[in-house]
Amino acid sequence: MTKWHQPSGLSTGLVFMVNSNWTPEQALAVWELLDDMRERVWIHYGSVIENLLQEQCNTHQPLDDFDHELPF
């Protein structure tokens, strides 16, 4: 069985499967719940999350390794 990789990087925890038999109304209710949760987390942790995302995206390499002798 192939292991599912989550965006969070977590590899342990509770498995959550989306039931393929949900009605559209049930799917919408779950969507709205997750949206509300996301908003609540953002209100409380938004600036911290922004800082962490910025740190994770910062991939600048120091110019010390730059080869000035490249022919172009």
CA angle 37, 38, 40 (to 5 degrees): 65
- Written as one string, the DSSP assignment of 15-66 is -----TT--HHHHHHHHHHHHHHHHHHHHHHHHHHHHHHHHHH--PPPGGG-
pTM to 2 decimals?
A: 0.56
Residues in the chain, overall count: 72
**39 or 3: which leads in pLDDT:** 39
pLDDT, tens digit (0-9, with 9 covering 90-100), for 58-67: 866 566 666 6
Compare 8 and 45 and report the one with higher pLDDT: 45
Q: Which residue has the tokens 């989306």?
A: 18
pLDDT digits (tens, 9 = 90+) for 10-58: 777 777 788 899 999 999 999 999 999 999 999 999 999 999 989 888 8
